[in-house]
Amino acid sequence: MRRAAAALAALLLAALCGCGGDPTLFVPSMPVQDEGQEQQTAGISADNGSDGLTLVWFSGETLDPTASPGRTNLKISTLIYDTLVSLDERLAPTPALAERWEWNGAELTLYLRDGVIFHDGSELTADDAVRSIRRMAENEDNPYCAALGCVESVRAEGKNALVVTFDRADIALAANLAVPVVRLSGSDAVGTGRYEPVNDGRGGLALAAFEGWWGGEVGIKRIELISVPDSEAVEYAFMTGQSDLLDIEPQRTPDVIRRDGVREYQYASTDLVYLDVNTNRDYLDAPARRYISRLLERERLAYQNARTTDIPLRPDWWALSGAGTRDGRREKEPEQEDVFDARRRLKLIVNSENDLREELADKIASQLALADIGCDVVRLDWESYGAALEQGDYDLALCEAFIGADMDIRCFIEPDGALNFSGYSDAELSGAVSALTQAGNTAAYRAGAAALCDALRREEPLIALFFRSGTVAAGPALSGDIRPVQGSVFAGLEKAG
């Protein structure tokens, strides 16, 4: 169980820290147009020197998404580097550099667009995509490495086709290829995106519209970049009007960045907040878990703009087609009052280093108390929290984890799953997951997803609460609308001028 605790610790620590101090990395040699020789000074100046759109970045870190960029620079990199596929608002894969694809068992063949060129004028080939995937998959520090963990091999077939072999025949895995393509030219990391990096004439960096972009004309011709020293300065720059867009970090609330003329855009996130249940407790069998789940009023528990759910799948995920539920409320079962001994008090553990989660744990205990279920909230520091999970010293544990866009929940329900702390197993539920991943077409996949929802509601191996929704705030300098999606929070920016 030590490996499982370490896995959850890594996921929860990411959620806990949020934007707290991206690691200091390197800056690659960018193929930029030379418009100035001075070195950029870290920090926020009183005047950003631009009347147009401005974003922030960390000048001491890489913008190359196939290396190990921090969170802030990774968002900027999506303007410079295009991905093989994109995700829509329901997390469905849509064409990007790959204009179409086809499945053959566990093999996915992607066909690249003709005539796509990099910023240096070279033409995109399948070899570029293959090298990019391999580079990210082999770097455990790369933000795309986890999504590519299901890739067994990748090879080019001719100039414009590549074949990706996955560890299973699951058509949802196409969403995991929303990964960037980069051409390494010497020490330069070159992209095909709608913006290319240029020197700003003051020794810093700016983004200029790429006239050769395959997606058409770019409306906003230039984006100034100002360097900031730390993550707190990212928010400050937006609050003071020095930057025009802010992707609000998960642990923050939109209230902290409100200023005149600000618009907010929500997007679907796969950041799940849930109660892990110690299924080794005989008093927490499936009927008891269902009973507890039905007692919770998720709309009163959810963070601002979150999407409530009673299963660990987003209700608006493309595969569900109405099989999900908005708020987790279901019809009461006649026998539910008899499935749990109200004299027994539950132990709910929570990490004391996260104020939002502590407050949520107290709300959960209060709601259970209304049904005469005693629940003691035990606040633990990070080390003690991980030890309690590993040792099974809890009844309920308030957790948060990021799921892939493919909605792979095996980590929760398979006996060796990284987030299955109590070793839960159920043959029927595992069979439903297996049947889903073997569906060969969209119709069969939707049917399999509906069957999986039924199995999850019957077993309730964990008590899902809600998925966080991402929020992007736009200042008044942006005249049009953006269409943020997970993994590309500035999507649509090129048309928003």
- pLDDT tens-digit profile of 151-204? 999 999 999 999 999 999 999 999 999 999 999 988 789 999 999 999 888 878
pLDDT of res. 161 = 98
The mean of the pLDDT values for the chain is 85
Residue 343 pLDDT more than 80? no
pLDDT of res. 129 = 98
Contact 429, 412 (CB under 8 A): no
In which residue are the tokens 């970090």 written?
Answer: 249
190: left (phi over 0), alpha (psi -120 to 50) or beta: beta
How far is residue 432 from each of residues 104, 175, 451, measured CA to CA in Å?
A: 21, 21, 7
Shortest CA distance to 456 belongs to which of 273, 315, 335, 357? 315
**pLDDT band for position 4 (cuts 50, 70, 90):** very low
Please provide residue 455's backbone torsions phi and psi, each rounded to the nearest 5 degrees.
-65, -40
In whole angstroms, give the CA distance from residue 315 to residue 209: 37
Residue 374 pLDDT more than 60? yes
pLDDT of res. 34 = 40
Taking residues 425-450, report their average pLDDT. 93
> pLDDT higher for 264 or 333?
264
In whole angstroms, give the CA distance from residue 156 to residue 162: 4
Instruction: For residue 250, count CB atoms less than 10 angstroms from its CB and return exposed for 0-12, middle for 13-18, buried for 19 or more.
Output: buried
Contact 109, 161 (CB under 8 A): yes
**pLDDT band for position 304 (cuts 50, 70, 90):** confident
Residue 397 in 3-state DSSP?
strand
**pLDDT band for position 248 (cuts 50, 70, 90):** confident
> pLDDT higher for 73 or 13?
73
Please provide residue 150's backbone torsions phi and psi, each rounded to the nearest 5 degrees.
-85, 0
Shortest CA distance to 373 belongs to which of 298, 466, 442, 288? 288
| Residues facing residue 376 across a β-bridge | 347
Taking residues 215-231, report their average pLDDT. 91
Contact 480, 494 (CB under 8 A): no
Relative to beta strand 222-227, strand 205-209 is antiparallel
pLDDT of res. 42 = 33
Taking residues 416-431, report their average pLDDT. 95
pLDDT of res. 185 = 85
Shortest CA distance to 151 belongs to which of 433, 64, 138? 138
Residue 322 pLDDT more than 90? no
Q: How many CB atoms lie within 10 A of CB 44?
A: 18
pLDDT of res. 336 = 52
Contact 174, 92 (CB under 8 A): no
In whole angstroms, give the CA distance from residue 15 to residue 8: 11
Tens digit of pLDDT for each residue in 450-482?
999 999 999 999 999 999 988 999 998 888 899
pLDDT of res. 450 = 95
Give exposure, 198-230, as e/b (b: 16+ Cβ within 10 Å): bbbebebbbbbbbeebbeeebebebbbbbbbee
**pLDDT band for position 23 (cuts 50, 70, 90):** very low
**pLDDT band for position 395 (cuts 50, 70, 90):** very high
pLDDT of res. 279 = 97
**pLDDT band for position 49 (cuts 50, 70, 90):** very low
Domains and CATH numbers, the chain: 2-11+267-470 (3.10.105.10), 81-190 (3.90.76.10)
Shortest CA distance to 437 belongs to which of 412, 465, 407, 403? 407
Shortest CA distance to 87 belongs to which of 482, 495, 494, 487? 487
Contact 206, 200 (CB under 8 A): yes
Residue 35 in 3-state DSSP?
coil
In whole angstroms, give the CA distance from residue 194 to residue 209: 6
- Amino acid at site 170: D
- Amino acid at site 123: E
Relative to beta strand 222-227, strand 346-351 is unpaired
Relative to beta strand 98-104, strand 107-112 is antiparallel
Shortest CA distance to 129 belongs to which of 91, 81, 68, 166? 81
Sign of the torsion formed by the C-alpha atoms of 16, 21, 25 and 26: positive
DSSP annotation of 117 reads: B
Query: Terminal CA-to-CA distance of the chain, rounded, Å?
Result: 52
